[in-house]
């Protein structure tokens, strides 16, 4: 019978923990290794609604991108994270996360994002190393699209990622070579620029980063944290379905950013 | 004749440097104290276009909210900040900034923002001290609006601040008691919540802060860094005009956020 | 109905968290504040056997001296502490601890230990402050016994604390003024000496501390971590019974040190 | 004529200072390198009684495991360590120590301890490197005894080391593969466990380390700091006698732990 | 009979250790408190020649300005400081130092230096506190001389302190208000300048400090570390003679800087 | 046309920035890379008089050993360094410095100093690495002179470096093997001694360093910061003239130490 440990071991091959950033913590967040698993829920975040959804579909395991517990502390209903952890443990639901290891891994968050945006000739910007198959890994990806106006490209981004709105600054250049970084990668702007890209798609961009882009003359697009990272859930879901055909793997139907535009 | 020093001394009464955060640096950024001043330009940021504008209108002094130099370094055209500093000095334009001291000061960034949004009964949240007139000072402000739906309030915010779009999460509550913090104050969300506010208007909000708001049940509105801080420029301009009637005080016509929505 | 929060609030009056050492963490360790409580188990440590015992007697709350979780981490069965926390949460058992706050509080660990050893004229050595009733608090206690040989006193200690063996060094003095510190207080030896004591009873004493005692000429007795701290369980049990007559308060029957002598 | 320097140089071959822990200080503690040596005293600690003994037997050199001075300070009779250093210098007695370098060295503290306990197939646990002869060095040793009950093994330990009492926790396993670490090595318990040992003999074990052993299911025996480290004195004495036949090498007759059991 | 402790206690009234800089260590450097003292040698430094001199005149105590041991370490003849300490201890000579406490104390190094230079109206620059008699204490002193040329003043300095040469920079001002700081006080130049002094006499001045003086327009004179601090030896000698008429108090005849000019 | 960048690139080959100390900052200090250069001024320090001189001779570039800005700060006339930077920028004069990279580089400050003093068989003491031509680099140099008295050698030093006076301590040895370190290298005394030198020429020597030299028995000569470093200006001037024959390269005529002797 498939156990939590079987799935943890499989995810280690998909996103080796050795590829994570040094400050990050990944792996089994709560639960027991030998717990049998018949149903898995895959989601971006282990937020309260997602935990609720996991319970409702009878999942014994939740696989997420972001961790369940961020700060050291006790597990009580005095905090939001404590409440989520209590709920999962009380309902015998284990939780595994793959965070910066999945961002950097070949085939992970940023490869998925690049493909989703239709980039070709996708490569790793500033690789941190190679995996055992010799494939480079690292945070950002870059690739090529047919040269087009920024507005044409943004229209395509909205369609590909299902975003309501994009926030952007126009760097005054046509779009041809695009860097991508799912989630809050604004601080990597210089790396995207030095790699020769004319356009950078990421999320949670700060005021001064938009100004920095304008001064460098690079198009900078904030497509939203959720929309740039969520595509990896489809990938994880499929990977798990292939590896564990006997297990039901659901992707969170509770499937949206909590922020809107008006 | 009015000098840079005269204006620096006056700004110290408007936003005493003792009110700044310990990590912040404010005051004269470049230039000479005894330089005569006939024209001042007031702007949010000493970015390249603003420096250009200052030169074009013949200003001898630029007064800004954000600092000219953020990191220790040499003053060369190898960096954006170095280029801006070189340009100002080469053109004999001094630069003074008032940053977190102006955020916290009575009548400063956040009082202006609260007034601009039509709040009444405006008070300081968690005051850090009192000024020499006994007025409390500190980062956030709170106040009251007639009870209304979130959409009605957001419509008013867009009009008041001139924003193209708001990014927000709906906390599920009517709007009545509103906290405000110009610029990136997302990390102060707990303080706004504990003060009993149902709604918080600030900028540069991160993904997890939207989720935190949703879980607390507080409306959170990102109205943009520029739009929440820029109103203070009108205030600074008027203050300077009153204090120095012989000086021409212009507000930057170069007057927009560099980020747009699509 | 009595809740976890009611008992947490009561324990805050017995051992205020403001009296704890700065590095320590105390309070609710796991569980929910509004959980009704009909049965409490009091024990020194939330070890696996104690957690089992709590479940067996139907306790909804475990009150301990030592904390459930010492190091930041995830809550999984990969570690002993994770297993204990999982077990308690899965069985809906909350856990509260009072550690260095209970050591220092008037009437706490060290007052109980001093009384148990028959000391009179008990006072606090180097008080850290006073509580709201004006009573001094701090780590060590000192008091007086009728002058006697070290062997006579050690015989009494063994009887009073139920120790199998004592490890000690003979400082060459009669016993009359005794300092006590439950648990590992060997590093406080100088304080006991400077307070004028001829004998110090504590636990987990290291090699060089025995030598330091010998060189100072003070009798030093290691009566065991468990035996010097466990008496406080009786006190906590009685306090809880008085305050919550409607609740069943049991003291752990699983009641022994895990270390023996041969 | 043999000098202090000759013996210092020889000891560097027995326990190279490059094998010491980074926080440790070893070598010549007090005295002059060119002082002629006719008599050496070997002891575990340079305590007051040992210094007295050295003077009484006319030794010009004291060789110890623990250092003479632990903390930076002046050399006065205001402290115990100052008094010992004053006494040695006033009596023209040099002092050399070999501490963690001797713990780790091939043939050092822990090899001696392992042999003393009758272990066979002795190897280094987690070697830190190899010496110039290619022999691995490191802190702990492991080896094999004929499978036996814990009580049978403890009887043998008491005989071999001359301990009055052992403090122990029963991990519930037969004794067959034993790890040893002289002195306070309780924090290395996990390393002994991961190496596959069923039993670990060391000293100065703390309360929670006994509990950790119980939870891991490993027998843990505290045989005393003195008793686990003192056998190395015989080894050092013999080594020095072989190397310097013209010198009288005495082992401290003042030869006991200062702690007893009652 | 007078003991080391009697003299240590007396020096604590002359230069309270509470006046020392936090990084400094002062008091008994080596030796025994109850050692009878018939002869004291006073010197600036406990260098090898001074230690030799102390032995030759039969002193049981050496009182110095600088400490015997600067860095933590063992007491061996492998280092200069170890050799000096060995020599003193072997010859039963105690050593007491008063360093930054004597610099700052009323009547100490810098008051003596100011008097020696003929200053009047001597006051403390930036006092750090007051002693029990209400007298301010602190590092630098300032005072007044009849207005004169820099060369005239330097002539007087050479005579007063017995210097062979002065190294100086001419700040372009007459000498009237003079700051003094014995030893290496070049980093206090700004304090002397802000106090309104036209001239600063100290020692061990660095290249950039001369340039800083020139740019500030203040005369800066390096009169040598030895020559600016040694006058305090006369003061200490007299103080000790008055307090202990039964003791012979000698001032080091070995009485010169080791650096010369060519 | 020759630009600032051309000269910056050339100086990188003379004194690669990879040879600098980690705490040091070197390179372009102020100005623009593409500025045409017809005249360069070479000087030891970018002090106010030197900046003035650069303006007077129409230099577009100042090349110095010491940096223009030492501490992070704004560029205002409130500080000496701010004033110098303002002056240079206002006058369109760029500034490049080569500091510890030039001290260490083959042919740099210390090679020049060694040659100037007539040393033969010049080698690097404790090399830190080799450059791309395989030449070792590092701070100090040593070399040989014909054996002579210290006074004879000092006479030669004064002539070679143009010093008014030397401050020195006589180590009691003939001069034959000499170590040199331009500027304040007193803390490298042990390295010079261990390299077998009998004499060390450097600058800004502190009181205790003279004593350390005396105790080691090594002649120590303080020839002044300016005089030991300034010879490199001739070297830089010549190098620049050879590399850029079309550019006028002047060496500062404002050419003296600001400190004198009396």
The residue behind tokens 């550019």 is: F247
In degrees rounded to 5, what are phi and psi of residue C13?
Answer: -80, -30
Q: Would you state the pLDDT for residue E255?
A: 63
Q: Would you state the pLDDT for residue C257?
A: 79
Q: Does A260 reach chain B within 8 Å, measured CB to CB? A: yes
D153, C243 contact by CB (below 8 A): no
Q: Would you state the pLDDT for residue A255?
A: 63
F-chain residues near B91 (CB < 8 A): none
> pLDDT averaged over chain C?
95
Q: pLDDT in tens for each of the 262 residues of chain A?
A: 999 999 999 999 999 999 999 999 999 999 999 999 999 999 999 999 999 999 999 999 999 999 999 888 899 999 999 999 999 999 999 999 999 999 999 999 999 999 999 999 999 999 999 999 999 999 999 999 999 999 999 999 999 999 989 999 999 999 999 999 999 999 999 999 999 999 999 999 999 999 999 989 999 999 999 999 999 999 999 999 999 999 999 999 876 778 889 8
Are D183 and C258 within 8 A, CB to CB? no
Longest Cα–Cα distance of chain D, Å, equals 58
Distances (CA, A) of E240 to A161, A174, D108, E39, E45: 87, 87, 54, 11, 17
CA dihedral (E155, E157, E160, E164) in degrees, to 10, reads: -80
User: What is the pTM for the complete model shown?
Assistant: 0.83
The pLDDT of residue C254 is above 80 = no
A242, A31 contact by CB (below 8 A): no
Q: Would you state the pLDDT for residue E122?
A: 98
Which residues face C63 on adjacent strands? C42, C96
What letter does residue A44 receive in the DSSP assignment? S
Q: Does A90 reach chain C within 8 Å, measured CB to CB? A: yes
Give me E124's structure tokens.
């403390």
Chains linked to A by 3 or more Cβ pairs within 8 Å: B, C
Predicted confidence (pLDDT) per residue in B26-47, tens digit: 999 999 999 999 999 999 999 9
Are D85 and E68 within 8 A, CB to CB? no
Are A203 and B207 within 8 A, CB to CB? yes
Q: Would you state the pLDDT for residue D259?
A: 87
| Nearest Cβ partner for C80 among D158, D207, D215 | D215
Q: Would you state the pLDDT for residue C253?
A: 81
With cut-offs at 50, 70 and 90, classify the pLDDT of residue D255.
low
Q: Would you state the pLDDT for residue D71?
A: 84
Burial of E176: CB neighbours in 10 Å, binned 0-12, 13-18, 19+? middle
F68, F79 contact by CB (below 8 A): no
As a whole number of angstroms, the distance between CA D84 and CA D104 comes to: 27
Are B75 and F27 within 8 A, CB to CB? no
Which residues face E260 on adjacent strands? F168
Q: Does A211 reach chain B within 8 Å, measured CB to CB? A: yes
The residue behind tokens 């229209």 is: A155
Give me E55's structure tokens.
């032995």
| Count of CA atoms in the C-beta half-sphere (13 A) of E92 | 11
Please give the interface size between A and C, counted as residue pairs whose CB atoms are below 8 Å apart.
72
Q: Is it the case that chain E and chain F have 3 or more CB pairs lying under 8 Å apart?
A: yes
Mean pLDDT of C52-76: 95
* 3-state secondary structure at position D64: strand
> pLDDT averaged over chain B?
95
- In chain D, what percentage of residues exceed pLDDT 70? 100
The pLDDT of residue B255 is above 70 = no
As a whole number of angstroms, the distance between CA A120 and CA A134 comes to: 20
As a whole number of angstroms, the distance between CA F71 and CA F93 comes to: 21
Extended beta strands in E25-106, E state: 27-31, 39-43, 61-64, 75-76, 94-97
Q: Any residues with CB less than 8 A from the CB of D239 and at least 6 apart, and which?
A: D14
With cut-offs at 50, 70 and 90, classify the pLDDT of residue C255.
low
* 3-state secondary structure at position A138: coil
The residue behind tokens 């050492």 is: C21
Q: Would you state the pLDDT for residue E253?
A: 81
Q: Would you state the pLDDT for residue A253?
A: 82
Give me C247's structure tokens.
């609740």
Strands A175-180 and A199-202: parallel
Are D206 and C215 within 8 A, CB to CB? no
E7, E40 contact by CB (below 8 A): yes
Q: Is it the case that chain C and chain A have 3 or more CB pairs lying under 8 Å apart?
A: yes
Mean pLDDT of D163-170: 94
Mean pLDDT of F187-210: 96
User: What secondary structure does DSSP assign to F6-38, as a single string?
Assistant: HHHHHHHHHS-GGGS-TT---EEEEE-TT-B-S
Least confident of C175-184, C202-211, D246-255: D246-255
Residue among F139, F116, F118, F205 at smallest CA distance from F169:
F205
Give me C221's structure tokens.
């007795």
Count of CB atoms situated within 10 Å of the CB of B190: 11
The pLDDT of residue F127 is above 70 = yes
Chains linked to B by 3 or more Cβ pairs within 8 Å: A, F
Predicted confidence (pLDDT) per residue in E45-73, tens digit: 999 999 999 999 999 999 999 999 988 88
Are A215 and B80 within 8 A, CB to CB? yes
How high is the ipTM of this complex?
0.89
Give helix then strand counts, H and E, for chain B.
Answer: 10, 15
Predicted confidence (pLDDT) per residue in E190-245, tens digit: 999 999 999 999 999 999 999 999 989 999 999 999 999 999 999 999 999 999 99
- Long-range contacts for E128-137 (Cβ within 8 Å, ≥24 apart)? E128/E19, E128/E104, E129/E19, E131/E16, E131/E19, E131/E105, E131/E106, E133/E106, E135/E106, E136/E106, E137/E19, E137/E104, E137/E105, E137/E106
Predicted confidence (pLDDT) per residue in F37-69, tens digit: 999 999 999 999 999 999 999 999 999 999 999
* 3-state secondary structure at position F252: coil
Q: Is it the case that chain F and chain B have 3 or more CB pairs lying under 8 Å apart?
A: yes
A151, A175 contact by CB (below 8 A): no
The pLDDT of residue D169 is above 80 = yes
As a whole number of angstroms, the distance between CA C249 and CA C245 comes to: 9
Predicted confidence (pLDDT) per residue in B63-104, tens digit: 999 999 988 889 999 998 999 999 999 999 999 999 999 999
As a whole number of angstroms, the distance between CA A135 and CA F116 comes to: 57
Q: Does D215 reach chain C within 8 Å, measured CB to CB? A: yes
Q: Any residues with CB less than 8 A from the CB of E118 and at least 6 apart, and which?
A: E145, E156, E160
Q: Would you state the pLDDT for residue A133?
A: 93
- Of B60 and F80, the one with more pLDDT: B60
Q: Any residues with CB less than 8 A from the CB of C161 and at least 6 apart, and which?
A: C116, C117, C223, C224, C227, C228, C231
A221, A166 contact by CB (below 8 A): yes
Q: Does E90 reach chain D within 8 Å, measured CB to CB? A: yes
With cut-offs at 50, 70 and 90, classify the pLDDT of residue F254.
confident
B113, B123 contact by CB (below 8 A): no
Q: Does F226 reach chain E within 8 Å, measured CB to CB? A: yes
C-chain residues near D45 (CB < 8 A): 211
Q: Would you state the pLDDT for residue A72?
A: 85
């Amino acid at each position: 019978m498939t156990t939590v440990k079987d799935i943890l071991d499989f995810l280690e091959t998909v996103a080796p923990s050795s590829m994570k950033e040094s400050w990050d913590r990944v792996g089994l967040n709560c639960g027991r290794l030998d717990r049998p698993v018949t149903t898995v829920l895959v989601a971006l975040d282990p937020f309260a609604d997602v935990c609720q959804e996991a319970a409702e579909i009878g999942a014994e395991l939740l696989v997420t991108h972001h961790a369940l517990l961020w700060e050291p502390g006790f597990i009580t209903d005095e905090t939001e994270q404590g409440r989520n952890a209590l709920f999962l443990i009380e309902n015998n639901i284990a939780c595994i996360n793959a965070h910066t290891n999945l961002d950097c891994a070949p085939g992970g968050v940023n490869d998925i994002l690049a493909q989703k945006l239709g980039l070709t000739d996708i490569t790793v910007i500033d690789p941190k190393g190679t995996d055992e198959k010799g494939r480079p890994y690292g945070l950002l990806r870059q690739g090529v699209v047919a040269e087009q106006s920024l507005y044409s490209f943004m229209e395509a981004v909205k369609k590909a990622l299902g975003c309501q709105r994009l926030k952007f600054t126009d760097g005054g250049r046509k779009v041809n070579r695009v860097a991508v970084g799912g989630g809050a990668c604004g601080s990597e702007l210089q790396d995207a620029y030095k790699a020769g890209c004319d356009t950078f798609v990421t999320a949670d961009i700060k005021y001064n980063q938009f100004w920095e882009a304008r001064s460098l003359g690079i198009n900078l697009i904030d497509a939203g944290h959720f929309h740039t990272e969520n595509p990896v859930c489809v990938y994880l879901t499929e990977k798990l379905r292939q590896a564990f055909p006997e297990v039901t793997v659901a992707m969170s139907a509770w499937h949206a950013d909590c922020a809107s535009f008006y």
